Structure formats: structure tokens, C-alpha cells
Structure 1
Amino acid sequence: MPGIDYLELNGLMYEFIPSGLTSTMQICGLYANRPLKTAIKKKFFRWKVSQTIPPGGKYKVDRVQVIHWVEEAVVVVNEQMETSRKVEYMFNRLGQDPRQSDNQLFQDHMSCLQDNEVYNSLLLNQTAEGLE
């Protein structure tokens, strides 16, 4: 795999998240997506309220406007992340910090998920994918 060769050659760490466990292990999925989506929706709803649409009409958002909303949302979320150590905490909690001496936080996280029937089913039926 040329991508993996590049990472190893440059001393970069990588980790594969098993299929079906993205919602329990992917840091962006658990930490960044929600605030980004919330910020974008807030921009959309403000825009929507400002529009005058006749009965039965449809809202049509200019593509460039959506791009601006996404860019603005990224700036807002980045500013929020700069003032906290939440990203570092999420790496630790999800067992993905290579400097961490143990994975107790990750075990605690997975144990909490086992209380949820849907996640417990995902965990019990998880099978690893071959990468080679």
C-alpha cells in the first residue's frame, strides 16, 4: 500500500478503525462532527428564516453560500478546540494515544457502550477485516 509506505517512511503513526466501529472509535466522528453540523445548521436556519418563499415554493441555497457556511463553521469549531484539551482527551479515551501507558480510559469507554443495546450488538458481532 503506497499510502502506508509513505506514512512509515515519514515516521507518521496510523491506525485502522475496524468497520462498524467508526461511531465508537473515530475521534472526529465523536468530537468534531457534531459541533460542525450544529454550526452549519445554525447558519442554514438563519438564512432560511430570512427568505421569502411563496406557498409551495422551495428553498434553493447557492452552492457558494454553503461553502462559506462550512468554512465559517470550521473556524468556529477550531477556535473552540484551541481553548480546551478535548482532542487530547478524546485520543486518550479512545485508546489511540501512542504515549499512553495503558488503555483503561478506552476500556471504560467500551464498557459504557456495552450498556447500550445497539452498541453492544455491534461489539459482540464485530469481525476484523484483513488489510493485506
Structure 2
Amino acid sequence: MLTSEIDAPFLVYDGTKMKDAKYPERTLAYKYKNWRGSASGRTAHMAFQKKHWFDVDITIECLDFVLDVLYPGKKVGISMDHAPAHMAAEVIEYIERRTDEGRLVMGFIDGGLTSILQVCDLAANKQLKAIIKKLYHQWRAEYVRAERAKTPDEPLRRVKLKMNIEKMTEITEAAVKEFNRLERKDNRRSIAKTFKSAGQDPWDHCEEAFKEHLDALEKLPMYKMMEARIEARTGVVLGDASDPVEIDDEADDERERDGATVAATT
């Protein structure tokens, strides 16, 4: 928030965790465990999980990266959504321990509110993905050109693209650096401004900015649909005897959960 920049990336690729491997030293996790410090300019941390997703171990590994690598000795404030892995007993125990150490202040975003309150989803995701896409297309053009140069007598030879994990990581690192450069350019500071519009700037009275943010969201089709669902249920929930519609509560609850998931990920 104060720098209006994204921290160094924590990346999760598909692969076997060292603790689950018969021969840990043969895993990608072992090979790249020191990626950040192995060469100048490297900033990312690589983690590995069979579905390249956040589970309990990866969540704790990420928090360790933030607390002990990015901000050693500092008190860090983090907001996370209610993903199942984030709410697991082992993670909650970890959070309580680091909180007792005076190192961590954790806030959780309630389900269905991620797309309203999670600042980097609002301020950074779209542009960061666009930068990654641009860098990927640059790499692809260079890769194809180099491959075609190997067989100049076959100018239309089909080229199979193969990006290795190191190049993926380098592109992501470069994208974060480029995003941060743009944040500093002309004092754009979109992340800092989004903290205010999302009602999360503790040093500013931002009620009006937050209200404007919510009013803007109300105009989006997804939120109009969710509002219509809520209004349609109100009569039944309040016991309006004039409402003749019979509702299957279990099925409707399932639809609400689906809708909340879509709203959060949109």
C-alpha cells in the first residue's frame, strides 16, 4: 500500500513436494529451492504442488516467504480470502503463532467479497496479466525465429513451442518489475488509490471513495443478477404468506454458492 508496488512473486508449479518424494534431491522443488539467490536479478520463489495450487503446505510456505524473506524482522499485515487451505487448522495455528511473535496481522475477506475488497484483484491482476501476455508473445516470436533459422530450407516447418520453467519464472519476474515501474511513472500509484477506494486505508477517511466503488459495482451485470436473486428470496425468507412460490432451499442454497463463487472470481 505505501509503495504502491507488487512484492516479488511466489510461484506454484506442478511438481512433487520434497517431503513427498522418495528421492527429494531429484525433485524440481530441490533444484530450484535457491532460485532467488542463485543469480543477480532473480526475485521469485518457486514452490511445487501436484496440481500447482495452494494447499496447506504451500500457504504456510508462502507466508514464510513473506515474513522471513521479504520482510525479515518486520510486522506484516496480510489479507487473505476464505479459501479452504487458508482456513485449515494447521494454517490457523501457524497464523496464531506468528501473530503471538508480533510478526503478523491477518485479516480474512469474507466469501463472495473478494472481487470487492481484495486490492490486487482490483488494481493489478488485469494489467499484470497483460504484461505477461506481451512478454510471452515476444518470447514466442524470438523462439520461432531461432527455430526456423536452424532449417532455412524449410521456412514453413511446424515449430513446437516449449517454454521451460526458468523462462516462465523470468517472464513473471520481469512482468512484476514492469508493473512496478509503471506504478512509479507519473506517480500513477493505482494500488495505493485502490486501498482507499476499497475502504482499507487506515490513515484516511475513505467512506465516500468506498461508496463510489460499491455504486460502480452495482452497475455490473453480475451484481445486478445477485441483487435480483436476493430480492426474489426476501418475501419467502421473511414469511410473506402472499408469495405463492415454493422454494427448494437446498437447491437454492447451492445456486447461491455457485453465484458467490462466480462473483468472487469475476
Fold shared per TM-score above 0.5 = yes
1:73-132 CA-to-partner distances (Å, cap 9, x unmatched) read 111111222333322211110011122335221111111111112023346566xxxxxx
Find the partner of 1:66 among 153, 156, 168.
168
Say which structure is richer in strand. Answer: 2
**1:96 pairs with 2:188:** no
Please say if residues 196 and 204 of structure 2, whose CA atoms lie closer than 8 Å, have aligned partners that are also in contact: yes
TM-score normalised to structure 2 length: 0.41
- Taking only aligned residues, the RMSD between alpha carbons, in angstroms, comes to 2.5
* Unaligned stretches of 5+ residues in structure 1: 127-132
The alignment of Structure 1 onto Structure 2 pairs a total of residues equal to 125
Find the partner of 1:47 among 131, 139, 142.
139
Find the partner of 1:17 among 93, 98, 109.
109
Larger Rg: 2
Higher RCO by CA contacts (8 Å cutoff, separation 6 or greater): 1
Q: 1:4 to 1:111 in 2, by over 3 A?
A: farther
Percent identity for Structure 1 against Structure 2 = 27
**1:75 pairs with 2:177:** yes
Equivalent position of 2:218 in the other structure = 114
TM-score normalised to structure 1 length: 0.76
Q: Distance in 1 between matches of 2:139 and 2:120?
A: 27
Q: Distance in 2 between matches of 1:39 and 1:28?
A: 15
The 3-state SS of whatever aligns with 1:16 is strand
Please say if residues 197 and 206 of structure 2, whose CA atoms lie closer than 8 Å, have aligned partners that are also in contact: no
* Unaligned stretches of 5+ residues in structure 2: 1-91, 149-156, 231-255, 261-266
Q: Distance in 2 between matches of 1:74 and 1:18?
A: 27
